[in-house]
Amino acid sequence: MLQVSKERMTEKIQTWSQFGKLDGGGITRLSLSEAALEARAEFKKRVLALGMTLETDDIGNMYATYPGSEDLPRIVMGSHMDSVRNGGNYDGIYGVLSSLEVAETIIKEKIALRHPITVMVWTNEEGARFEPAMMSSGIVLGKFEKDVMLAVEEVGGGITFGEALEASGYVGDAKNRLNEKDYIAYFEPHIEQGPVLEEANLEIGVVEGVVGMVNYDIILEGVSSHAGTTPQSYRKDALRAASKVILTLWEELSKLDSELVFTTGEIQCKPNIHTVVPNYVKFTLDSRHKDPEVIAQVVKVIENLPKDVYGCKLSYEEHWGRKTIRFDDEMIGFVEGATKELGYSYKPMYSGAGHDAQYVSELLKAVMIFIPSKDGLSHTVVEYSSPEETYNGANVLLNALIHADQEL
């Protein structure tokens, strides 16, 4: 089996960890920031040195391409280089750097391929500076309107995405966008961002899809009154009611399926004064599962919540959601076959987090490859995957790509 260079793979991780480096470890490399532009410049320098051609599209996505021996559509691989605030050195960037290492191996080892190969960098996947997440892949796949996205101001106020894009120097032509005429398949390597592979002592996750989810706002409305003069029996305390509802949701949702995950990650309490009984609480419920039937059961639990809780009115509204995405079976087969041939232990699995690949899967044959995350941690400065793990994932990508090149 063909293999990449572990030393080169490790060097790439170390080099890109300098762009946006924080004193306490990790990075903050927000989309189109100075640190992100430094990372792009290094990518540009390296792909041009390898003899690849570099194009950008109208929203700054980068495409570095090396020709194949036949006039065939390209096989693309990649991810994103931007991070969340106080993020790590592996989320997103691992997909770019493992793809770059695979391209470097193919070029330097003179591995003959029929299809051209492209290493891709998506703009603004995280949405940490300009919301929403997966903005550029969403524009390419028609999920978001370009003009609306260009007008989005950075979080906290400031310049717009369009202004930052124009200032970046990476605005290209819309004809360069990922499309089904010029491309045939898409690979996205990634860290797992969860504990499953490490806990099971497995080396590779063969990603079969991205789980569906629903996100609801649940609202409790009570009556504000004085914290010292209102007897307990007279109170319509919205926070007390919300606490009861949250515990009820945990109890009921826990009964549905062992793979269902659900989170209350945001709570608003009004008037949020320590001497006043709360009259309003809104909290979120984020719930995810690969089976649409289980998600439907989650919605039923929400719909069956009592409309009056301790004298407080309960209402709810769906904030947003997504359907489960199943990746292409043939592409899954290429990844699984390469993993077996390399002798790596693995697990077929679904991603609980969203990725550009889920949008791309509506356009091209797509698949993802996971490597373990230490302690299951991601979006944090201590995010880590070992040199051996990053090497293993790149080897799977290399050999899966070769299978795709031969069989597509």
What is the 3 state secondary structure string of 205-250?
EEEEEECEEEEEEEEEECCCCECCCCCHHHCCCHHHHHHHHHHHHH
Q: Which amino acid is at 106?
A: I
Cis peptide preceding 271, ω within 30 of 0: yes
User: Quick one: which of 331, 349, 352 has its CA closest to 396?
Assistant: 331
Give 89's contacts (C-beta < 8 A, 6+ positions apart). 13, 16, 17, 26, 27, 383, 384
Q: Which amino acid is at 356?
A: D
The CATH architecture one would assign to domain 212-322 is 2-Layer Sandwich (3.30)
Query: What three-state secondary structure class fits 258?
Result: coil
As a whole number of angstroms, the distance between CA 221 and CA 168 comes to 46
Query: What three-state secondary structure class fits 313?
Result: strand
Give the pLDDT score at 40. 98
The DSSP 8-state label assigned to residue 17 in this structure reads T
User: Quick one: which of 325, 207, 351, 223 has its CA closest to 279?
Assistant: 223
Q: Contact 352/219 with Cβ under 8 angstroms?
A: no
C-alpha angle 258-318-308 in degrees, rounded to nearest 5: 85
Q: Contact 193/385 with Cβ under 8 angstroms?
A: no
Give 204's contacts (C-beta < 8 A, 6+ positions apart). 197, 339, 344, 345, 346, 347, 369, 370, 371, 392, 393, 396
List the domain boundaries for the chain.
6-210+324-407, 212-322
Q: Which H or E run includes 404? A: helix 387-407
> For strand 74-80 and strand 183-191, is the pairing parallel, antiparallel, or unpaired?
parallel
As a whole number of angstroms, the distance between CA 332 and CA 150 comes to 35
What is the number of helices (H) and of strands (E) in the chain?
12, 15
Assess if CATH 3.40.50.300 describes domain 6-210+324-407: no
> For strand 117-122 and strand 74-80, is the pairing parallel, antiparallel, or unpaired?
parallel
As a whole number of angstroms, the distance between CA 263 and CA 369 comes to 26
With b meaning 16 or more CB within 10 Å and e meaning fewer, what string describes 184-209?
bbbbbbbbbbbebbbeeebbbbbbbb
Give 394's contacts (C-beta < 8 A, 6+ positions apart). 4, 9, 98, 101, 102, 189
59's tokens: 């929203």
Longest dimension (CA), the chain: 83
- Bridge partners of 218? 283, 316
- Which alpha helices (DSSP H) does 313-386 contain, by range? 329-342, 356-360
As a whole number of angstroms, the distance between CA 62 and CA 117 comes to 13
Question: How many residues make up the chain in this entry?
Answer: 408
Q: What is the pLDDT along the chain (408 residues), one digit of tens a residue?
A: 899 999 999 999 999 999 999 998 999 999 999 999 999 999 999 999 999 999 999 999 999 999 999 999 999 999 999 999 999 999 999 999 999 999 999 999 999 999 999 999 999 999 999 999 999 999 999 999 999 999 999 999 899 999 999 999 999 999 999 999 999 999 999 999 999 999 999 999 999 999 999 999 999 999 999 999 999 999 999 999 999 999 999 999 999 999 999 999 999 999 999 999 999 999 999 999 999 999 999 999 999 999 999 999 999 999 888 889 999 999 999 999 999 999 999 999 999 999 999 999 999 999 999 999 999 999 999 999 999 999 999 999 999 999 999 999
